[in-house]
Structure 1
């Protein structure tokens, strides 16, 4: 495997504080009761459109997405931090000749901004996120596979939620779950990824 697709939130970056703060602000602005903290954690991973479709009235869903993205860009985005050892991992992988990509359900423009602000954008050949008509993880991974003509046997997805594992399996690529992110470990195990790793640098051992 030479083509590595990384999820962003919960895999490369700890963005929980900013995301949860932004959701709370959005629900308050809409006048809709906010879910509890445990439920808010489950909002990290799926596309915004899917989350709001399940938690706000239909007539408010477009406004919810707009409010969220505006506030996140102004405030929540600043509350995002690299996990320990991530930059070291990316540096080593790049030096070993791996082709690195970000594949996230987060808005694509925002994903570029976060990667740039945290000093990791240059490690990636492509940063792919949610755009109109392509929001789900399988669709986003497929764009990478198509653009770079990557054989499925040569690629893998590295992510922290069931959406990453399901998306990777739908495309037919190797799946690597990480235990330091936002999803409970038992939920990851239910999706039977090819392997679960407990720290970023463990990926080097697995790939070797």
Structure 2
């Protein structure tokens, strides 16, 4: 059985505007000045508490995390869209017998809410959030996603993401890795994590992944 595990934000969906809006609104409601939209976008992909700790003392982070999550839960799909080529990619891979999962830094309940709103849930077999697992680049969330698929780690399976943390997590889990230069990290940065390839659009992966299963 061949499996592919995808990061969510920046790889399958463009959620940066909704994340940044909720992040900035949470800080303002907390009585703090809002960083620029661009500044927040540059942080996306890191764990939420780590992002917020840049702007408030550590003792205030838990309250701010809760405020952000309330806001984002309400507005997670206002501006979020599928990345170009995602639907055809996931549809093609499933038609070829691949098992597909999401492994994301979001909590599982939030990841499943966004995935359902954007139509990702109907295109994959399992959605796994980080919850209380160690954050990427630790492999735990990737391994949990594979477990959800009922699939053991193997170099014939893939981790696909838009950050070096995604790729390092996939490699640590024993998977082949592919970078997609559609999110947080540019091609040159992704290549430092030693992926099998880096593509500019996710649908460029279909032929390559299919080819690796027929050699």
TM superposition score normalised by structure 1: 0.91
Maintained 8 Å contact 1:105/1:135: no
Where does residue 191 of structure 2 map in the other structure?
A: 189
Where does residue 29 of structure 2 map in the other structure?
A: 29
1:43-62 mapped onto 2 (5 Å cutoff): 43-62=43-62
Of 155, 158, 165, 1:156 maps to 158
SS of residue paired to 2:92 = helix
Cα distance in 2 between the residues matched to 1:70 and 1:144: 25
Is 1:108 paired with 2:96?
A: no
Where does residue 171 of structure 1 map in the other structure?
A: 173
Larger helix share, 1 or 2: 1
Distance 1:10 1:175, change over 3 A: same
Q: Mark the runs of 5 or more structure 2 residues left unpaired by the alignment.
A: none
SS of residue paired to 1:191 = coil
Q: What is the CA-CA distance between 1:169 and the residue it aligns to? A: 2.0
Residues paired across the two proteins, number: 207
Where does residue 133 of structure 2 map in the other structure?
A: 134
TM superposition score normalised by structure 2: 0.88
Maintained 8 Å contact 2:5/2:146: no
Q: What is the CA-CA distance between 1:77 and the residue it aligns to? A: 3.1
Q: What is the CA-CA distance between 1:182 and the residue it aligns to? A: 2.5
Is 1:143 paired with 2:144?
A: yes
Q: What is the CA-CA distance between 1:79 and the residue it aligns to? A: 1.8
Distance 1:66 1:7, change over 3 A: same
Runs of 4+ in 1 over 4 A off after TM superposition: none
Cα distance in 2 between the residues matched to 1:101 and 1:43: 24
Distance 1:83 1:162, change over 3 A: same
Task: Using the TM superposition, name which of 111-120 and 26-35 deviates more.
Answer: 26-35
Of 193, 198, 205, 2:207 maps to 205
SS of residue paired to 2:59 = helix
Task: Using the TM superposition, name which of 61-70 and 41-50 deviates more.
Answer: 41-50
